[in-house]
Amino acid sequence: MFTSPRAPRWEGFAGDGAGGTFFFCGEGDEERPVLYADSEGGAALVAIGLPELLRLLLVAPWWRDCQTFTAEESRKLEAEYLEEMPDLVPRRDRAAAALGLALAAEGDVLARLREVALGIGKDFALIFTPEGEPYDPLFEG
């Protein structure tokens, strides 16, 4: 169950290959806050609205491993991704064009993730219903 003083409703809308789920929080449409919960019991608010989430996923698909939100850390993670998927950048650019999204700089995307996860998101918690325990934060501030 999702709890928040500002957004008592949640709606799962997508998953990832690692078993995580993305949830829209609160009332409204695709501009609602987006919370991510992993399969290991961690969760964090990661974006405000679907366009912001898509930019994060396209610009820094390694976002979950960016614990310090720094460009240096991100470059190391990017290098690992590019070893496995050397055509990542052109594929990302085609996807962004198809979606009509202007992509932000990587540093801006990571700064926004930090702002959302550690600032705005501090009031959001996902509660594991059977035990009533909150998920662990994905990021430490």
pLDDT at 6 over 50: no
> Across all residues in the chain, what is the average pLDDT?
89
Residue 108: domain span? 2-137
What is the tally of structural domains in the chain?
1
**Rounded CA separation 118/127 (Å):** 18
pLDDT at 108 over 90: yes
pTM, full prediction: 0.87
**Rounded CA separation 108/59 (Å):** 10
**Rounded CA separation 52/31 (Å):** 9
Q: ∠ at Cα 19 (38, 101), nearest 5°?
A: 80
- Residue 7's pLDDT band (cuts 50, 70, 90): very low
pLDDT at 127: 80
